[in-house]
Amino acid sequence: MSYDLSSMLNASRPGASTATESPTTGNWWETTDLFRAIWDAAGDALALSDPEGIVLAANPAYYELYGYSAEEVLGRHFAIIFPEDAREWAAAEYKATFARPEIAPTVENAIRRKDGMLRTVETRYGFLTEQGRRTAMLSMIRDVTHRVQTQEEHIRLLRREQTASAQAADALRARDEVFSLVTHDLKNPLTAIKGLAQLLTRQAGRAPGLEEPARKKLVQGLEQIDGLATKMTAQINGLLDLGRRAPDAAPDLAAGPTDLVALARRKVEELDRVTPQHTIRFTAKAPELVGAWDAAALERVLDNLLSNAIKYSPAGGPIEVEVDRAQEPPPACAVLAVCDHGIGIPAADLPHIFDRYRRAGNVGSEIAGTGLGLAAVRQIVEQHGGSIEVASEEGAGARFTARLPL
């Protein structure tokens, strides 16, 4: 069975009659009504055009997409919907598509609505034939502007991420270079300091005419310089190791039997000798408290907490260090507390005091710092399976309490 499709499609023209006699048996009116209902309700824009590109029929979605009325489109070349500088190309492409034996694939094009707005459309083609000859092209057009914009935005975001990633990689390489240069420059004088301290220690032991108490004090001071130089060298090596790790990677622990009482007492004695403005008091509830901890890492915890206590008590005063054993709540743990009576921490900063690069709002520029020390303290304590908390009142000092499971 064949139908006069031109008559059917002409029903979509304004004022056209749909009462057409059927060339075969049956009610042609019912067939035309069904066709028109599908044609008019289609969400995609539909248009029928002849071999020259003249628009024969279009559905309501077509007029809505392009912003033209039926009177402005029907009987005119379809290229009116393209930007003016693309109309010649569109007409040539249409003729090539019409003549091509195979059906063209789905294509995307930029079109311009009557109001000047550019849209991106996706078009599929089909053909009406009569006795094996193509008589008209049916174009099915979908507005894909939003999808294309989303894809373009995704590409822009991806490019920004790639750029940021490349910049981050460059920054990491630059950081590694700075680490290498700075640590190299620091290790050389430390080696010299260590060598001179050892030489002077030997000479002090043989120096004639030096009273024994003075000799002992001098030797202790030189030994402390030697020890501090050794410690600084180890810290520099730790920085180099940190520089080779991923940004958020935690350093490995070398856990072994460690007496927290002995470690804290030694650190207090070291720092008490070099901070005359402060009196560092040490209290331990037990003669020893041994756990499976990384001694070097816990020493770093004590270094950071004590140096902060000294730094943020610029007027001097007492600093208390306490080591205790707690049974409640279980499991049993060692408790290390460091308390100062300095400038304290504002209440607004307390929830963030262990964040990286975070410093309290009442810290002036005259107090040097990077905001990394307490972040490192929390990382080490949590690596040991412990926890750390702070209690503070601005202007009345701060108390840091770390708990390490035994």
Map tokens 């309501």 to a residue. 60
The pLDDT score that the predictor gives to residue 12 is: 42
CATH number at residue 132: 3.30.450.20
- Closest to 296 in 3D by CA, of 186, 196, 384: 384
Residues 163 and 121 both lie in one domain: no
Name the pTM for this structure. 0.49
pLDDT digits (tens, 9 = 90+) for 205-253: 777 777 778 777 787 777 778 777 776 776 676 666 655 555 555 667 7
Is 334 inside a domain boundary?
yes
- C-alpha 13/C-alpha 9 separation (Å) is 8
Count of domains for the chain: 3
272: containing domain: 252-406
Stated length of the chain: 406
Residues 215 and 179 both lie in one domain: yes
3-class DSSP assignment, residue 40: helix
Is 70 inside a domain boundary?
yes
Residue at which a domain ends, from 114, 143, 172: 143
Is 37 inside a domain boundary?
no
Query: How far is Cα of residue 319 from the mean position of the Cα atoms in its chain?
Result: 40
The pLDDT score that the predictor gives to residue 28 is: 44
The pLDDT score that the predictor gives to residue 402 is: 94
pLDDT digits (tens, 9 = 90+) for 323-371: 999 877 777 899 999 999 988 999 888 888 888 877 787 777 667 666 7
CA-CA-CA-CA torsion sign (391, 393, 394, 396):
negative
- Closest to 323 in 3D by CA, of 309, 310, 308, 338: 338
Mean pLDDT by 10 residues, the chain (406 residues): 42 40 42 78 89 91 90 89 84 88 79 83 86 88 83 73 76 70 70 79 75 78 77 67 56 84 90 80 90 90 88 87 84 91 89 82 70 84 92 90 91
Residues 289 and 404 both lie in one domain: yes
Residues 139 and 160 both lie in one domain: no
Cα-only R_g, the chain? 42
